[in-house]
Amino acid sequence: MANTVNIKIDGIDVSVEAGKTVLDAAKKLNIHIPTLCYHEDLCVAGNCRVCVVEQEGVNNLVASCAIPAQKGMVIHTNSHKVRNARRHVVELLLSEHNADCTKCYKNTKCELQDLASEMVINEHMFMDLVPDKNYTTDKQSPSIIKDDSKCIRCQRCVRTCHDLQHVSALGVAYKGDHMKISTFFEHPMYEVVCTNCGQCVNRCPTGALIEKNYLDEVWDAIYDEDKHVIVQTAPATRIALGEDLGMESGSIVTGKMAASLRRLGFDSVLDTDFSADLTIMEEGTELLTRLKKALVDKDTSVKLPMFTSCSPGWVKFLEHTYPDYLDNLSTCKSPQQMFGALAKTYYAEKKGLDPDKIVCVSIMPCTAKKFEANRPEMRDSGYQDVDMGLTTRELAVMIKQAGIDFQELPDEKFDSLMGESSGAAVIFGATGGVMEAALRTAYEIVTGREVPFKNLNITAVRGMEGVREANIKLENVLPAWSFLEGVELKTAVAHGLTNAHQIMEAIHKGEANYHFVEVMGCPGGCIGGGGQPIPTTPEIRRKRAEAIYREDEGMAVRKSHENPEVQQIYREFLGEPLSDKSHWLLHTHYVKRKRV
């Protein structure tokens, strides 16, 4: 094997692929080397220096995350010199750090704290630098809190926002002792290009970037006898929540989640999956309508490709970066917001509830959903449609706070009327899922037949490739859709905003010609959302996606238009997709935003 390198770590021989680092090699041997700036999703920075190891024949220590394994290297990961240096590095970080752990949201979930604990740091070796610093905390965003006094300057957030999201709302500013993580001119996160995706939050090792939590507000609502608190849970929460409650990644906890929500005291335990199915009905119809206008009526004001609009991070990205393409966005609200608008109208009406007394809480894999719920456009019910958006992580906190033994809970079902779901809705949680769900329905509407894929699984749009394309030829269509006869429906899927940017550039330059494009703001789609359990890594995303598809396969109903509650709401309330009532409650518009 020419492409492997043999080295020795702590006396053990190991061979790794050329190009792999010493850290990779140590992992292979199950030798744990502490890291802080390193993250599997990101390019290597090599700046925290906590991963240093000793290389025989080299005077200085080397950063194991950054140094490629080279033939014949002899490495010591736990020598006196190494331990000394690591200890110093952690002590130095702590000396710059407002280590107020008991008042910190990341208490017991913090990589810096873990290291300090591992090193048994009782007394600080160095002087406290915090009083000399003018640390500030930015709490203005409805999604994210940035507390500079907790920042260890590992730049994971900066690399996340740049490498994965192509947003770069955060950068490194100044140098030397003044170096800090900053937005443009230190403006509040709320006022800059930040999409609220929370990917940085998911990767921040400390409490410097955290979601804004609404735990107290939700508890208050639950305890308020006067309020009817409705909770909805997004597709991707049910395959990730378990991770924060001691379960393996990839565990499906739909039933336990419903049970726990009931025990927490929510009055109606409902499912965003229901409105995901509804989204398919509306968005599928919108697509077909757009196609008709474009192909038959030759209406040039109709914009194609149509973009999905269920990811609020993606929507805000487009509003900032490609404001000229807002008409390409489907006018459909996201499932969370459709749900909220219906909770305070349809659900209230059917259940005889006073909408004024309804509090609508959502459990989301996402921090951008908090922002979305607060958008001024999202008040069509006459109230704020969704009152509080919690992340998967926050729900796990509530479950722990309530002393619920999650793993031992029985499986329970969601309540009815807006609790029924199809497999198509579940797969919304993974990149490509909306596309697959939409195709399952749209194809059938147009041709009267099921999509021509084994078990309805459209594997071409699945997977973790950054941009994927799938074309489906429409043949033998029903008479009403004859204009689509022979048309090859061109679709594409992108996840993570860097890939979204790539696809947008291709579209903008006229290099790509699609009818329908699904974009999810987060890598992997919602399963890799910014509000999901930490850590989220490529491996964990893969396991969550597998779980999602397993859940889909196990469902009785696999297609959105076959969801009985969806059929019921059209029969009894909405009429048909794109009806006036749907337009009023389920559709929205977008705003152009500045690019700073």
Partner 1 sequence: MPEIKELVTGLADKHGRTRESLLPILQGIITEERFISDDALTEVARELDISAALVYGTATFYSFLDTKPRGKFVIRICRTITCDMKGKKQIINTLEDLLKIRVGETTKDKNFTLLETNCLGWCHKGPAMLINDDVFTELTEDKITEIIRDYMRNI
Partner 2 sequence: MPDKKLKRVDIIFNEDCNCNEVLTNSLKKSKDEILKEILDSGLRGRGGAGFPTGLKWKFASQEAEKEKYVVCNADEGEPGTFKDREILTRVPLKVFGGMAICAKVIGAKQGYVYLRGEYQFLKADLEKSLEEFHAVLKDIGFDFQIKITMGAGAYICGEESALFESMEGNRGEPRNKPPYPTVSGFRNKPTVINNVETLVDSFMICRIGSQKFMELGTTDSRGSKLFSISGDTPIAGIYELELGMALEDFVEEFGDGDTKAVQVGGASGFCVPRKKFKETIIGFEGVPTGGSMMLFNSSRSMYNVLKNYVEFFEEESCGQCTPCRVGCQQLKKGIEAIKKGEKSASYLKTLQKLAETMKVSSKCGLGQSVANSFSSIVDNFKEEMIY
Active site residue 412: no
Q: Which is nearer to partner 2, 67 or 110 (CB)?
A: 67
Q: Which pair of structure tokens corresponds to residue 537?
A: 């890594």
Active-site entry in 96, 111, 319, 372: 372
Q: Binding partner of residue 584 among partner 1, partner 2, ligand SF4, none, CB under 5 to 8 Å per kind?
A: none
In 335-487, DSSP assigns E strands to: 358-364, 388-391, 467-473
Active site residue 372: yes
DSSP code of residue 347:
I
Active site residue 40: no
Active site residue 81: no
Active site residue 526: yes
Q: 333 and 426 in contact (C-beta within 8 Å)?
A: no
Q: Which stretch binds partner 1 (CB under 8 A): 81-89, 167-175, 332-340, 567-575?
A: 167-175
Residues 24-83 that bind partner 1 (CB under 8 A): none
Sheet holding 306-307, edge to edge: 306-307, 516-520, 488-495, 467-473
- If one asks whether residue 169 binds partner 1 (CB under 8 A), the answer comes out as yes
Active site residue 283: yes
Q: Which stretch binds partner 1 (CB under 8 A): 170-178, 323-331, 347-355, 412-420?
A: 170-178
- Rg, Å, the chain Cα set: 25
Q: 125 and 94 in contact (C-beta within 8 Å)?
A: no
Q: Which is nearer to partner 2, 132 or 580 (CB)?
A: 132
Active site residue 369: yes
Q: Which is nearer to partner 1, 64 or 195 (CB)?
A: 195
Name the amino acid, one letter, at 182.
S
Active-site entry in 54, 243, 286, 551: 286
Q: Which is nearer to partner 2, 67 or 258 (CB)?
A: 67
Q: Which is nearer to partner 2, 155 or 457 (CB)?
A: 155
Q: Binding partner of residue 596 among partner 1, ligand FES, partner 2, none, CB under 5 to 8 Å per kind?
A: partner 1
Active-site entry in 37, 110, 161, 526: 526
Nearest to 340 by CA among 369, 318, 298, 368: 369
Rounded to whole angstroms, the Cα distance separating 278 from 202 reads 30
Active-site entry in 316, 369, 543, 559: 369
Q: 144 pairs with which residues across the strands?
A: 211
Q: 288 and 443 in contact (C-beta within 8 Å)?
A: no
Residue with tokens 């909405």: 574
Q: Binding partner of residue 127 among ligand FES, partner 2, ligand SF4, none, CB under 5 to 8 Å per kind?
A: partner 2
Nearest to 304 by CA among 296, 317, 315, 293: 293
Residues 1-60 that bind ligand FES (CB under 6 A): 35-38, 46-51
Q: Which is nearer to partner 1, 202 or 321 (CB)?
A: 321
* Cβ neighbours of 59 (radius 10 Å): 6
- If one asks whether residue 162 binds partner 1 (CB under 8 A), the answer comes out as yes
b/e sequence 295-327, b meaning 16+ C-beta within 10 Å: eeeeeeebebbbbbbbbbbbbbbbbbbbeebbe
Residue with tokens 């997977």: 463
Q: Binding partner of residue 9 among partner 1, partner 2, ligand FES, none, CB under 5 to 8 Å per kind?
A: none
Judged by the rule CB under 8 A, the positions of this chain that interact with partner 1 are 162, 167-175, 182-185, 192-193, 595-596
Write out the catalytic residue numbers.
283, 286, 310, 330, 369, 372, 377, 526
